Amino acid sequence: METPPQVPPDRTGPGAMDALHEAGIWAALALQAGPPWLEQFWVYLTSHFDPKSIYTFCFPLAHGLDARVGLMVLWIGLVAEWLNVVLKWFLFGERPYWWIHESGLFSQEELEKLPLRQFPVTCETGPGSPSGHCMIPGAALWPLVTALTAEVARSTRSRVLRLIPFLAYILFLVAMGLSRIFVLAHFPHQVVTGILAGSALGWGLQRCPPNFRVFRFFVAVAVVLMLSALALHSLATAAGIDLDWSLRLASAWCSDPAWLRPDTRPFASLCRVVGSALGLALAAETPLRRRDEDQLLDGRLRVASTVLALLALQLVHRLPRPSDAAALYRHVVVHYAAGPFLVVSVLPRFVIALRNFLEPSQVPPHTN
């Protein structure tokens, strides 16, 4: 006789978690009662600065400021996303937009009276704890914030000015957390957990950076992270634990089926992680020559390379996506592998070659 799938513990009956969830519903109601301009801000923030923006915006921008900082942003971001997927699988976190219907604490009459609204960014399909929108940027942006703080410290002795990067970091994460509560994607405790876990992870991983020139290391990372996640999923399924319970609840309670996005599934996140690790491997296999690195010290070339990288990644990630799940996952791996390869190796070489063609007098002499 088969073991029935485990029911997520949050819905086994009224208790402390239900009280916590109910308080989160009232927090969402309070936020949704705000002015229309604030609603537009929350929706814009949560839709434009999701975890994918770490790979497509923050990484190339940070790499343009400092190559090593940019690589650390990407490295910490992919580790944080993998860990976030695993934690979500085993913490069984509810999401407000389905919990309010599934909890049994609200009658149909009460639900009709509650002025709660869903949005196109509400219907994420994975479990809710901890918040990936808070945890992944919280971890990935840590090296960028510390680098900016160090740069400010070299320019001024003012303690207030030195605190500006960290204050901006904290304000961004708090605003992101509020936006996630507003759109009914997370409860407040999931947001707080995500911020704390992300900050701690960013602080810890920054203290032990990898060697970004070792091709085999990043290939091994990609293989290990994918196989370990698949093994955990298979073991949980064999033990009768249903890790896909959230997909069914999302489908049941999303206001508009068109809002159910395949790229919010846990395996899509894993494919982003694997693709980015393979992209770092490709970048490690094709490093810039010292002569090219010296040319990139020219501010004009760095700006040109950064702008081109931002545009190229936006173009790559706007390409049509296949509807089939397996094809979609392959698509995600390839696109996210292309990112680091383009940013670190291809586009800097293109910019240098273009400058040397247009301004041959600027070509540095060969050195032995």
Residue 239 class from Cβ within 10 Å (0-12 exposed, 13-18 middle, 19+ buried)?
exposed
- Is 186 a known active-site residue? yes
Q: DSSP label at 57?
A: I
Q: Which of 21, 63, 133, 335 is catalytic?
A: 133
- Is 133 a known active-site residue? yes
Q: How many helices (H) does the chain have, and how many strands (E)?
A: 18, 0
N- to C-terminal Cα separation, the chain: 73
Q: 213 among the known binding-site residues?
A: no
Cα–Cα dist 98/364, whole Å: 62
CA-based diameter of the chain, in Å?
A: 81
Cα–Cα dist 275/334, whole Å: 6
Token pair recorded at residue 119: 């949005």
- Could you tell me which residues come within 8 angstroms of residue 282 by beta carbon, excluding any fewer than 6 positions away? 337, 340, 341, 345
Q: Which of 186, 189, 233, 335 is catalytic?
A: 186
Confirm if 347 and 70 have CB atoms less than 8 A apart.
no
Q: DSSP label at 39?
A: H
For the chain, what's the residue count? 368
Q: Which amino acid is it at 327?
A: A
Cα–Cα dist 95/124, whole Å: 9
Tokens 């509560």: give the residue.
181
Tokens 């586009």: give the residue.
347
Q: 95 among the known binding-site residues?
A: yes
Provide the annotated binding site: 95, 180
Q: Which residues are catalytic?
A: 133, 186
Residues annotated in the binding site for substrate, as ranges? Answer: 95, 180
